[in-house]
Structure 1
Amino acid sequence: MKFGSFEASTRIEALHARFDRHEFATHAHDTWAIGAVISGAKDIFGKKGTDGIIRSTQVYSLPPHRAHGGKTVGSACEYVMLYVPVEEWTTQCDARGVDIHRFSHGALEDARLTQCLLSFVTLMLHHPERLSEWSGEWTNFCEVLLHRYRTAERTTSPAGAIRADPDLVRAYDFLHEYWNCNVSLDKLAGESAMSIYELCRRFSAVYGLSPHRYQLVLRLEKAKAKLLRGASISDVAADTGFADQSHLGRHFKSMFGMTPGAVLEEAASKKKRRSGPECDEA
C-alpha cells in the first residue's frame, strides 16, 4: 500500500492499495472519495441486498459523509483512490458545468478513466516534484475525468438542504471543536437542543455515521495527518484521545488498512526522497 498527498488549492490525498481478503470497518470521509478498481473486485458496502460491488476498470465515487466499509470479492483487489476536499471538487465541477451530485450515482465502466486515475495517483506517489513544477497536472486530470459528466442534467441534493439544519450544524461544530475529547451523547444532545434519539437519527441520516462513530473517524483522520508530518505514534495516540498505541493501531488499521507505523515509514521515506542523496565531505 502507498499513501501520499499534495497541495493544490487545498490538500488532496492519494492511495494505491492491494488487499488479500481484507475487510474495512464502517467509516466515512469529509471529502469526496474518487476511486477505480485496477484488478479484482471489492464490495464497498459489504451488506446483503446492496449493489456495492466495484469491478476491474470501473470508476466510482463516494460523496462526503457517505458511510461505507469494504471488503475484497474473491482472493484480491487492487485499487486507487483520491480524497478531494468538498470546496476543491465543487470548484472543479462548477468550472466545467458538471453536476457534482452525479458522482454518487453508481460506478462507471471506463478503462480510459481507470488508467487516467491510476496514472495521476502514481504521479502523486512516486513523482510529486512534477506536481509542484506544473500545477496544470491537476487541472488536466480534472478535465479528462469530468468530460464524461459535462452534459449531464443537474440534480438537487436533499442532503444539502438538511445540512443547513442549525441543530445539526451545532452538533457537527461541537464534535469538530472537541474532537479529541470523550463527548457523551447527553452532552452533544444538550448542545444541539435535541433528544438523544432525535440527534442520533438525524445525524446518521445526514453524515452517514452515528455521532460516536463520526468522532472516532475524525480522530483517526487527525492521527493520520499527524503521522504524515512525522509525529511519533505514542504522541499521536495521546494527542488524538486514544488510550494507548495499541488502541490507536487497532482502529487505524481497521479504517485505513495499514498500521500507524507503515504511515510513519512512508512519511519518513517521502521526506528522504525530497531531501535528496547525502554527499560525503571531501
Structure 2
Amino acid sequence: MTRTMSRSTHNEHAQYGYVDGTGIEVLHARFERHRFTAHAHDTWAIGAVLRGAKDSMTSARHPSIVSAGEVYAIPPHIAHAGMSIGDQGCEYVMLYVPDAEWRLQCDIHGVSPHALSQPVKMRHAMAPFSQFAALSMQSPRLSSAWPDEWALLCEAVLGSMNDRHASAQSSSIVADRRVRDAQTYLQAFSGRNVSLDELAREASLSASELCRRFTAAFGLSPHRYQLVLRLKTAKQLLLDGMTPSAAAAATGFADQSHLGRHFKAVFGVTPGAVARRNSAKTF
C-alpha cells in the first residue's frame, strides 16, 4: 500500500510517500525558511536537489552545500541538520533507503556505498528522482511499478559512476552457462515481471554476482534487459491489435501511463501511436 501525507505553508511544501514492503520512504519538499534541527536516520538518506541549493550540515565545522543537479548520500546514524541557501529556496527529493537495500544496489553496480559522500553533479538523474517521488505519492494500484522505477533510478545514479560497460561483451562471460540460462529464462517469461531473486535462483548465482556477470555479458542489467523484452512484447501485442491498456496489463506494467513512459524512452513513440498506425493499415 502507498501512503502519502503533505503539508504546505506559503511557498513551502512537503510530501511524504511510502510503499509497504519496500522499506523506502520518500520526501519531496521545497523549503525557504524551514531549518531542520540535528537528527540522524536508521537508513541511508539519498538526496537530489532539483532547484536552488541547501546545506545538509553533516559537519559542525564546514558547510556541506548541495546545488541543483547534484546527488548525495548520508549514511545511517550520521547526525546532520539542514537548511536552504539563498533567497530562492530549495526543492529536493530525499529517499530513505534501508542499509541492506542500498548496499545491494551498490554491489550490483560495482560502486562503494559511500561514493556519494560528496555531492556529485548528475543532472540526468533528476527526472528519475522526480518520477520515483511522484509514483510514491500515487495510489496503491501503482505499487507494482516500483521495481521498474527503483531499478531504473539506481541505474541512473549508480550505473553512471563506473566504467564496467567498457568491458561488455566479454566472451568468457557470455559463454557462462549460468548467464545464458538467465537470459533464456527472461526471454521465456517476457510477458511478466521476473524478480531478481527468482532469476538468481534460476542461474544458481547470488543476485549481485548475477547482475555483475549479466551486465558485463550483455551491456544491460538483468532488469533493463527484461524491461526491453517486455516493451518489445507490448509492441508486438499492439501490432496484433491489442489496446495500449490491455498491452500494459499483459506485460506486467502498472497501467498504460507506466508502459507509455518507458515505451517512448526506448522506441521514441507512444503505444497509442503504434496502435493507431496498426489500425490504419490496409491489407
**TM-score, normalised relative to structure 1:** 0.49
* Larger Cα-atom Rg: 2
TM-score (structure 2 length as normaliser)? 0.49
